[in-house]
């Protein structure tokens, strides 16, 4: 543990973001440099819990040894803290930046006081490791003679590749985009995860013997069956990339885009020309509406602000969450409470108001010329329960017409695209995900495995790492009859995921 009396002496103190008005002027990361003294004090707040719920089913899906490395940071033993962190997490520089930290929601100290800043400590450990040159990937001493193909280079695919390579298998990762990283590259904008951070880790993995191929769209420009035949095992880590659409009149008007269209084009143009090529969906001078909350909605807001949009509104179908835990949302479950994310803070700084409006139903889109959107028609709704199920009722007199030059749909995802699974004959579950049991990860086709969002549905980066590590262990067992790879947490779900 940290200091026995630390939780009594030191308050929670997070590593702050850069000033909101300053950071909207660029696409650099939003974070400031942490102060070591504050990090050590946060490590000191970690208590000698009888059961550390931070690494339980409700906390960290990859069983991070959080109390251990909190204590090591408190003692200033940073390299040992890094070794502890890497025992369970292949990519702490990704989770330390993008994870909403279900571990903090399950922190025992959080019952009575604000939780330990676990996420800040994790990120500081790995950043210190890279700065000091402690992070490396060694090639395995011997090869097994087995070949594994991985389709998709997001966090699940990369975690599986890293683990399988450590076991001596020849691993090749196939990515349909022009850069490796999946959602880490194009789904999360640069201000939350600089792409040099992704490239740095991929370069280390490549140097350890993992093969990466971009521009390979398996099932379209490459035959999936032939790929399976040429390898001893195949892992599907394609993500849940089928977006939920807005089925209303006017949806076909120009100026209405899925969130990932917007975010992907922006990041690609940013990396290739610093947005000078104009090959992105520009929100400059436009009235922007983002439909859907969550991380993706916030990232659309943050990107539109950096373009210089004229106004910004964020609509959410559900009710506004309460400021504190509700009676039916007890600790250690993920706290379903009202939060102000980085992009909301930036909108308040730019325009003076929080952009979010809750309990709003989009009815139709309209355009003056019948071609380009210029307005969204909405109505307020009331949520009640009937036989325990939520029931939505429109409220008379709450109709609104909102100006809209650009409408971004950030309403989540319905599962993976199915052209790969169809070509292989892989069965789907009732939610249109690839059917494979968590813990085993093998699909209905022998030798074909699935992991990440394509198997469990849209979720967190940390859950993708859990699944990639678990699938790697199952593949290793399939190929060799046994495996020495560690088994990550085998729970079926997470309060935050």
374: its two tokens: 């210029």
Distances in whole angstroms, Cα of residue 321 to Cα of each of 13, 107, 337 = 24, 21, 5
Local confidence band at 30 (pLDDT 50, 70, 90 cut-offs): very high
Q: Residue 496: its pLDDT value, please?
A: 34
Q: Residue 368: its pLDDT value, please?
A: 83
Q: What is the mean pLDDT of residues 57-78?
A: 94
Cβ neighbors of 93 (< 8 A, separation 6 or more) are 123, 126, 127, 130, 197, 201
Q: Residue 1: its pLDDT value, please?
A: 65
Closest CA to 437 of 473, 490, 478, 488: 490
Q: Can you tell me the distance from the alpha carbon of 123 to that of 462, in angstroms, rounded to the nearest whole number?
A: 13
118: its two tokens: 């676990």
Q: Is the fold of 6-132 the same as that of 256-409?
A: no
6-132: CATH topology: Fumarate Reductase Iron-sulfur Protein; Chain B, domain 2 (1.10.1060)
- Helix boundaries (H) for 336-386: 342-351
147-241+414-480: CATH topology: FAD/NAD(P)-binding domain (3.50.50)
Q: Residue 494: its pLDDT value, please?
A: 34
Q: Residue 497: its pLDDT value, please?
A: 32
* Pairing state between β 287-291 and 311-315: parallel
Closest CA to 307 of 279, 277, 286: 286
Residue 353 sits at φ, ψ, to 5 deg, of -135, 150
Average pLDDT, the chain: 95
Q: What is the pTM of this model?
A: 0.95
Encode pLDDT of 276-304 as tens digits: 999 999 999 999 999 998 999 999 999 99
Q: Residue 11: its pLDDT value, please?
A: 96
Q: Residue 4: its pLDDT value, please?
A: 86
Give the containing element (helix H, strand E) for 227: helix 224-229
Task: Report domain 256-409's class.
Answer: alpha beta
Residue 322 sits at φ, ψ, to 5 deg, of -75, 160
365 DSSP β-pair partners: 376
Encode pLDDT of 183-224 as tens digits: 999 999 999 999 999 999 999 999 999 999 999 999 999 999
Local confidence band at 58 (pLDDT 50, 70, 90 cut-offs): confident
Q: What is the mean pLDDT of residues 85-110?
A: 96
315 DSSP β-pair partners: 291, 357
Q: What is the mean pLDDT of residues 229-243?
A: 97
Q: What is the mean pLDDT of residues 328-334?
A: 93
Q: Residue 493: its pLDDT value, please?
A: 36
pLDDT at position 331 over 90: yes
pLDDT at position 2 over 80: no
pLDDT at position 28 over 80: yes
**Is the omega angle on the peptide bond into residue 119 within 30 degrees of 0, that is, cis?**
no
Q: Residue 495: its pLDDT value, please?
A: 33
Q: What is the mean pLDDT of residues 344-372?
A: 96
70: its two tokens: 């909190």
Task: Show the CA angle centred on residue 155, arms to residues 152 and 159, nearest 5°.
Answer: 95
Show me where the domains of the chain are located.
6-132, 147-241+414-480, 256-409
Beta strands in 404-465 (DSSP E): 406-409, 448-450
């Amino acid at each position: 543990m940290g200091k026995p009396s630390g939780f009594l002496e030191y308050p929670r103190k997070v590593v702050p973001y850069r000033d909101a008005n300053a950071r909207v002027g660029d696409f650099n990361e939003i974070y400031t440099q942490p102060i070591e003294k504050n990090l050590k004090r946060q490590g000191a707040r970690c208590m000698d819990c009888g059961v550390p719920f931070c690494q339980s089913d409700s906390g960290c899906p990859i069983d991070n040894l959080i109390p251990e490395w909190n204590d090591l940071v408190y003692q200033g033993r940073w390299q040992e803290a890094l070794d502890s962190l890497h025992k369970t997490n292949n990519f702490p520089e990704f989770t330390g930046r993008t994870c909403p930290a279900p571990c903090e929601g399950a922190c025992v100290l959080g019952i009575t006081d604000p939780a330990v800043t676990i996420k800040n400590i994790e990120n500081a450990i790995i950043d210190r490791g890279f700065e000091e040159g402690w992070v490396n990937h060694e090639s395995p001493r011997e090869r097994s003679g087995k070949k594994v193909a991985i389709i998709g280079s997001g966090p699940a695919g990369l975690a599986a590749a890293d683990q399988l390579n450590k076991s001596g298998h020849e691993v090749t990762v196939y990515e349909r985009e022009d850069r490796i990283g999946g959602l880490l590259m194009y789904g999360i904008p640069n201000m939350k995860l600089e792409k040099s951070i992704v490239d740095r880790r991929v370069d280390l993995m490549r140097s350890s013997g993992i093969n990466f191929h971009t521009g390979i769209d398996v099932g379209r420009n490459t035959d999936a069956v032939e790929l399976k035949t040429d390898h001893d095992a195949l892992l599907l880590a394609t993500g849940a990339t089928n977006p939920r659409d807005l089925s209303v009149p006017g949806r076909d008007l120009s100026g209405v885009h899925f969130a990932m269209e917007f975010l992907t084009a922006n990041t690609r143009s940013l990396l290739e020309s610093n947005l000078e090529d104009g090959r992105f969906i520009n929100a400059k001078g436009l009235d922007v509406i983002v439909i859907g909350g969550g991380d993706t909605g916030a990232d659309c807001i943050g990107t539109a602000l950096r373009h210089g949009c004229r106004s910004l509104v964020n609509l959410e179908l559900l009710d506004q969450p309460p400021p504190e835990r509700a009676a039916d949302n007890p600790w250690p479950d993920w706290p379903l409470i009202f939060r102000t994310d980085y992009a909301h803070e930036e909108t308040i700084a730019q325009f003076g108001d929080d952009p979010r409006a809750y309990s709003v139903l989009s009815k139709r889109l309209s355009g003056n010329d019948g071609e380009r959107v210029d307005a969204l028609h909405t109505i307020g709704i009331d949520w009640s329960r009937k036989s325990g199920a939520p029931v939505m009722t429109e409220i008379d007199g709450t109709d609104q017409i909102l100006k809209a030059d650009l409408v971004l749909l950030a309403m989540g995802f319905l599962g993976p695209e199915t052209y790969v699974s169809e070509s292989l004959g892989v069965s789907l579950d009732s939610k249109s995900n690839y059917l494979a049991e968590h813990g085993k990860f093998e699909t209905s086709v022998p030798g074909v495995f699935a992991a990440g969002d394509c198997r469990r549905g849209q979720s967190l980066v940390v859950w993708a790492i859990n699944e990639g590590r678990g699938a790697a262990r199952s593949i290793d067992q399939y190929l060799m009859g046994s495996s020495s790879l560690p088994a990550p947490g085998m729970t079926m779900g997470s309060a935050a995921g």
